[in-house]
Every structure is written in C-alpha cells, then in structure tokens.
Structure 1
C-alpha cells in the first residue's frame, strides 16, 4: 500500500513550506500519503487536500496540540478531527491564544536582556511565510528565532534556541496550558484519533507511560526523526504492551539556513495500512 509520513508542518504554523508544497514533496518522495499536523491549527488542511486530489496523494487531516503535564511540554497529534466543527475550532483558537501570550512574554524577556525586538516584527516574519495572512494560523518560536538571526543577535536557529528559546534558556517561558488528558478528550469529541507525539523528546518515560496508561491516548509516534533505533525499539514494545496504534513521521518543518528541520518528508514513515486505524468509523463499524 506504500508509505506514509504522518507528521509535517507548513506555513500555517512554523513550517517554511506551504501545505501544497508539502504534498508535492510527498509525491516526489514516492509516498502514498502525508499528514498535515500544524501546531494548534488545521488552517492548512483544505489547501493540502486540494493539492492531494490533484496529484493523487492521500492527505490526512491532522493537528499537533500543545499541552503540559507535570511542567513538561507534551504534544498530542490528532488525526481526522472534523476541522469544520465549531466547538473544535473554538478550542484551537484558545490554544493559539496561549501561544500568542507566550510570544509576548518571550519578547518581553528578550527586551529585558537588551535585545532590540518587538512582537510586531515577529508577526511580520510570520506574515512573510504565510503569504500575508495569519488568521487561523500559528506564530511560534521559530519565527522569533528567525528575527533574532536577521538582527544579528544569533547566527543560527540552533543558537537562538540554545541561548534564548529552548527550555531552561534565558527567555524561555511556559504559560499554563491544557493537560494532555483534556486534549485527548477534545480530539475524541471532534471525531479524531489521538497519538502521543515523539515521546523520546520528553526525557521522562515514566510520565510517558502514565499518560498512556491513564489518559486514553490511542497511539504513539514510535518513528520520528529524533528517535534512534533504541528509542524506536523501546516505544514499539510499549505500543505492543498497551495495544496502541503505531505511527511515525518526519516532523518536517521545512528548510532554514540550508538545514532541514527535523527531517525531510519521507525520512520517517510507516506503512499506509495504518490509515485504516486512524480514519473515523461510522456507527456500523465501517470506515467512512
């Protein structure tokens, strides 16, 4: 049935390529399907679906929700949620408002540290990537990092995160967010399937297992650009132990300064057969 990349980002959040471009790259990589999983928004889904139909590539509507558990950022992927549902869209808007607040707090900290930066300049960077519209889209730390590079405050994206934007760095802030359990419930209520994203990035396997055991998450992202063979084997065993759907994806964010973040489209995949487990089902048990 071919291979699928179930984790990619576009200009609807902090990726550098349009939704159409991601689908084109999936076609070029010989994939059967690609998921669009922007942070706290599904604004790129419609464009991707149209391009997928044109190119004969299946597009999986997705999202990556930002949550916090025990002070740790946890990301939950949701697939096939009904992006036209009003309540779901209200909830996504609320999540983006938390991101907006975080951006304001980060910029304030950077100013305190003596950097010449404004929130308006950050939004202008996001506007460049999104084609001049940010409504329903996400502005995030990569846009701040890009502005810091332009201003000569840092030389690379990595330096921007290491010095200012990553957890524990000088300008990092982590405002209150929803708990993963709540995000999982929201995804379910919107008709979608929830997957715990890149567990290897959290550095807390005890918390990961607790979220799996008690939170109702339906799958786990075993294969990810930042997972090594040992991590993949560990999380595959965990998936088998708890009967979870096994997914994987590149977490593609596009290219900056000649470097692809986190991996190229198609660099981490799973068999397309997994789509049958992710698609919503009708009352008679058949896939819709």
Structure 2
C-alpha cells in the first residue's frame, strides 16, 4: 500500500486544485493521500468528492505554521474538527499575518530594484486562502526576474535573504494542544529540514511528545539517510508514529513527486488510532478518513 501523508493544493501554495491533486495521486498509484494545505481546510470537500469518485483513500488535514526561537517550524494536523473555534481563530491569525507581510516583502524587493505590486502576487494565488512567499515567488517568475520558485527563495525570500519578513506564528507546543483539543493528531513536519533543524533538538521533540505529539515525519526529501535513521530511533524511544511523505506542491516544488516518500501501512494505522483516541477524548465531531 502506497500512502503519501503530506501534499498541497492551490488552496495554499500548490499548483493543482484539490480535485486535480487527487486525480494525479490516483494516476501515480497512491492508495491513500493526505491533503495538508498550509493553515486552511478549504480544499477538503472537493478532494473528498474526487477521492470517492476514484475510490482512492483520503485523509484530510492541514500544515500549521509555527515559530520557535524566531525560526519557522511546521506541524501537520490530521483529522481535526475544522469547526473547533480556537483552532479556527489560530489559523485565521496566521493567514492574516501572511497577507499583511506581502506588502512589506514587496517594499524590500523594490529596495533592491525588483518591482512588483500586490496585484501581481494575487494573480498567482489562484484559490489560495491567503497570500504567501510562494505566490511572491511565482510573481517573480512571471515577471521574468527568476527562473523558478527555488531561485526566488534562494536570492530574496528565504530567512536571512534581503526580502524576508517574519510574521506571526504560534509556538509548536500551543499548536499541539490546539490540534488535540480539536480531536486531531499532531505530527511534526520535516523537523530536520531547512531552518527547523536549528531549533528542533531531540529534547524539544521529547517535550512535544510529552505534550501529546502523535508522530514525526521521518521520510522526507529534506532528510538524508543518516537523519532518517536518527529520527526513526528517536521516534521509537518516544513512542511516536513514523510518517513519510512527498510534500508535493505540483509544479511549485521540484523533486517532490507524489509517492516519492511514503508511510508504511502499520504506521498509518497507528496514526489513525492516535487520531481516534484524541477525537474520543475531546468529544469533537471530527472528519473520518475515506478508505474505500
């Protein structure tokens, strides 16, 4: 069974609609797909309808933006109640922060001679519930300033680059608490990738496990084999579910083809069990995975 538990549609920074993403997953031989757009649940209904039509398994979730010691961290939330008010409020504040920083990023770009306006960025956002750096990157590509998103981030948009602007994001421990209160299962996304590796030490991950973290994303393109071995050992010590996923963004991210990293069936079942227990304890009415 091929299980890919971390993908994005154009409801955040992917390039496919939720339905087309499910189509592509089915064509790629994926048996179970998770839709985990950044800080939004907007694509769930469309993805579910297409999954049922094609009879491909679907788990709904979101990738929640966090910040620890001024560093960006991400938390995957599987099967939470989207109507839980405090989780809703948290995600809304994150999306507002993302929108608010776009004009500031554009000011920084103008200071280095690169001129765009908010309309250029919005034109690239399609169905996204907020504007983000990937949409700025796409606008830079469309205007001919760079060849692709990667170049845009490497030159201007990544942390430490000339046009980087920080924004609001909650602490990871608070996000774990909110996901659990909404009846979902929190899994730490690519903890040793990019800047996350600077702040997500073994001790920090252990503290998150004590707070209710359900799992850790081990098999990811940002992790080499040595990192994966170390994380798998840590997950075993902490009784955390081990997941793997492509982090697919359509054409928005190179080298992240659907199914290129996957989760084992046994670990997937453990994750569903963690979600079930959290749902029962919270008393929330949560979405159920579609498993034909």
Q: Does 1:101 align with 2:131?
A: no
Write the deviation string for residues 113-146 of structure 1: whole angstroms up to 9, x where unpaired.
222111122112113xx2xxx4xx2321111111
Q: Report the equivalent of 2:32.
A: 33
Consecutive unaligned residues of structure 1, counting only runs of 5 or more, are none
Kindly report structure 1 stretches of 4+ aligned residues shifted beyond 6 Å. Answer: none
Partner of 1:234: 230
* Residue correspondence of structure 1 range 144-163 to structure 2 within 5 A: 144-163=136-155
Distance 1:44 1:203, change over 3 A: closer
Match of 1:49 in 2: 48
CA distance in 2, matches of 1:71, 1:182: 15
Number of matched pairs: 275
Provide the residue aligned with 1:271 in structure 2.
264
CA 1:145–1:206 in 2, change beyond 3 Å: closer, same or farther?
closer
Contact 1:75–1:196 (8 Å) recurs in 2: yes
Structure 1 residues 87, 283: closer, same or farther in 2, change over 3 A?
A: closer
Q: Secondary structure at the match of 1:153?
A: coil
- Residue 183 of structure 2 corresponds to 191
Structure 1 residues 80-124: Cα deviation after superposition (integer angstroms, max 9, x where no partner): 011233443232211111111222221121122222111122112
Q: CA deviation at 1:156?
A: 2.7
Which residue does the alignment assign to 1:142? 134
The SS at the match of 2:38 is coil
Distance 1:79 1:283, change over 3 A: closer
CA contact (8 A) 2:80 2:182 kept: yes
TM-score normalised per structure 1: 0.89
Deviation of 1:205 (Å) = 6.2
Measured in 1, the distance between the counterparts of 2:191 and 2:37 equals 18
Residue 157 of structure 1: CA displacement? 2.1
3-state SS of 1:20 partner: helix
Q: Judging changes above 3 Å, is the alpha-carbon distance between structure 1 residues 262 and 184 closer, same or farther for their aligned structure 2 residues?
A: farther
Contact 1:7–1:252 (8 Å) recurs in 2: yes
Change (3 A) 1:283 1:124: closer
Equivalent residue for 2:218? Answer: 222
- Match runs of 1:81-120 below 5 Å: 81-120=80-119
3-state SS of 1:188 partner? helix
| 8 A Cα contact 1:162 1:169, kept in partner | yes
- 1:203 shift after superposition: 5.7
Quote the Cα distance in structure 1 between the aligned partners of 2:102 and 2:139.
13
SS in 2 for 1:221: strand
> What TM-score results when the alignment is normalised by the length of structure 2?
0.88
| Distance in 2 between residues matched to 1:210 and 1:244, nearest whole Å | 14
- The answer to whether the 8 A contact 2:96-2:130 is kept is no
Moved more, 208-217 or 58-67: 208-217
**Alpha-carbon separation, structure 2, partners of 1:139 and 1:210:** 34
Q: Which has the higher contact order (CA 8 A, sep 6+)?
A: 2
Q: 1:152, 1:248 → 2: CA distance?
A: 35
Root mean square deviation of aligned Cα:
2.0
CA–CA separation in structure 2 for the residues paired with 1:114 and 1:213: 45
Q: Which moved more, 1:270-279 or 1:33-42?
A: 270-279
